[in-house]
Amino acid sequence: MNENPSTMRAITMNAFGKKRRLFLVDVANPTVGPDDVLIQVEAASPQCLN
């Protein structure tokens, strides 16, 4: 669990390619505007079918 409430953990990809190019990093929480909706995702899985 993330201990810093101002950041969240995210999987980022800086180039197209194999899954070894995916990185787990801490990023700033997104800002939500008046017409935006923020959805919390508990679990996700990358799937390369193409």
More confident residue, 4 or 28: 28
**Cβ atoms 46, 19 nearer than 8 A:** yes
Residue 1 has pLDDT above 70, yes or no: no
pLDDT at 26: 92
Report the predicted TM-score, pTM, of the whole model to 2 decimal places. 0.54
SS3 letters across the chain = CCCCCCEEEEEEECCCCCHHHEEEEEEECCCCCCCCCCCCCCCCCCCCCC
The per-residue pLDDT for range 7-50, each reduced to its tens digit, is 888 888 877 766 567 788 999 988 889 999 988 888 877 766 65
